[in-house]
Amino acid sequence: MKNILVPLGISDNSEQTLVYAIGLASKTQAAIYVMDSFNPSFVNAHLLNVKEVVKRNNFNRIKALVKSIDHHGLSIQMVSYEGEFLVGVNALDEKVGLDLIVCGSMPNSNNDAIFLGPTPGRLVKKTDIPVWIIPEGAIFQAPKKALFAFKKGKVKGERSLLPLKFLQDQFNTQLELLLVKTPAHNRKELQIDHEIVELSDQMTSSENATIYQGVLEHFRQVHPDILIVFARKRGFFEKLIASDVVFKKDFFAKTPLLVIKNRQ
């Protein structure tokens, strides 16, 4: 885990998000890149200089925030990008190779009915980078137990399982697998790659309408410190965040949520 991106929006939880990321990164001395997730192009401005003022104010706000926090010896770099946020994220990924994105669940959104705001929702849906989503008020603690819920056991790409290996190598995290058999599943989908099995301490299977229902059924039994799910094209999360937000009525987790992807 060498490079971690922390997008900071205009919410009151920006400091908490950055402090959490520093706690996570301090174990490996990873470099942290901070980027403003607010896009000035969305500003409905009648004056030509308003967007420039917004951009400058956001940069100064983040600069002051970074300066006020104990870095614990980590390299924290501010990234400025003119244009659409996701384009900037992908450009940074191509330049330095991002291993992880750490963000709050609700940046730039104050709707209490929403679990996943538009910024983390788009990061999950429209990038190939693993996303570590922290709930409001969370303080970083080394996860001792993780629940990895999935409905397909095949993984593509050499880098796909690196976040799981990172958890075990750095925090000795115990990984429990939950294979959820949803309606109309086929046996080929249930074949599990040996790499996943080797990483796990225990595996359970259940039959549920969705992965989320399977998670709810087993969450209290496992008591995980972090929940892990796999985002695949046309998969559970892809359908869930069709509108770039996830409502609490559809999915909710009080623990950190790690969304991993197929990565080459």
- In this chain, the answer to whether the domains covering 3-134 and 145-261 adopt an identical fold is yes
pTM of the predicted model as reported, rounded to 2 decimal places = 0.86
Lowest mean pLDDT among 54-58, 83-87, 240-244, 257-261: 240-244
Tens digit of pLDDT for each residue in 93-136?
A: 999 999 999 998 865 556 677 777 778 888 888 888 999 999 88
Residues ≥6 apart with Cβ < 8 Å to 133: 103, 104, 105, 116, 120, 124, 256, 257, 258, 259
Residue 12 DSSP SS3 = coil
Residues ≥6 apart with Cβ < 8 Å to 96: 3, 31, 33
Q: Is the pLDDT of residue 37 over 80?
A: no
Question: Domain residue spans in the chain?
Answer: 3-134, 145-261
CATH of domain 3-134: 3.40.50.620
pLDDT at 144: 94
* pLDDT bucket at 145, cuts 50 / 70 / 90: very high
- For residues 244 and 122, the answer to whether their CB atoms sit within 8 Å is yes
Top-level class of domain 145-261: alpha beta
Helix, strand and coil in the chain, % to nearest 5: 35, 25, 40
pLDDT at 226: 94
